[in-house]
Amino acid sequence: MSAKYGLLGEHLSHSYSKQIHEALADYTYELIPLSREELTKFMTAKEFAAVNVTIPYKREVIPYLDSMDERAKSIGAVNTVVNRGGKLEGYNTDYDGFLYTLRKNKIDVTGKKVAVIGNGGAAQAVLAVLRGLSVKELVIVDIIPGEGVCTYEDLHRLHTDADVLVNTSPVGMYPKVDASPLDLTPFKKLTAVIDIVYNPNVTKLLAQAASLGLTAVNGLQMLVAQAFFAAQHFLDTKLDEKKIEEVTEMIRKTLG
């Protein structure tokens, strides 16, 4: 029998998911690094109760599922798979995690202009939340421009009036902590910056945001919250939301 609960991914040595899940609920949670070849064997054997899914498999697991909830379908990515009597159900709790982060930090995006850096897998749940909250304008910025995606040059030329900025790129993540996706100085209307990077605690981008007097939030709360909502699917029960803040603080201390 494989691990009953765990995390599927490719490179998991830096993951905090085991500590987070085992602090949130009463079960053993394992890191399950898999190659693409091993993923097929694991998913078809179905020898697990429930798993989370991270890079690069959030889309790759979809063909193995029997059903997906509407949110996961709309995002096109799954981070939680529950085995219910041999039927695999897919969910996306990254959505719940980002929505929780906005609400907990009182960041109101309704009717606001929001710029999102990055358009990869990590961005999709963030974009779905923002669209659901009726933002006035959503600006997606990436090094690879395309339909509905602008360049950094376009951002500086046309969108320095953004109210909220969200970084979903890995720029600034440990160990490359001296990097920042952009200089916030020209963005005079900004009120809040969210960086979904959580290691280090304060990225270069967030340090600048704080120095400008803006609300500055990292990705740790989102990481813990998505695990909390995944655990509720795992156990098919409601848990106490106070746990999110308790575990966030516990992990924050380990990050220094």
106 is catalytic: no
Out of 41, 58, 73, 243, the active site residue is: 58
Kindly report the three-state secondary structure assignment for every residue of the chain: CCCCEEEEECCCCCCCHHHHHHHHCCCCCEEEECCHHHHHHHHHHCCCCEEEECCCCCCCCHHHCCEECHHHHHHCCCCEEEEECCEEEEECCHHHHHHHHHHHCCCCCCCCEEEEECCCHHHHHHHHHHHHCCCCEEEEECCCCECCEECHHHHHHHCCCCCEEEECCCCCCCCCCCCCCCCCCCCCCCCEEEECCCCCCCCHHHHHHHHCCCEEECCHHHHHHHHHHHHHHHHCCCCCCHHHHHHHHHHHHHHC
Q: Which residues are catalytic?
A: 58
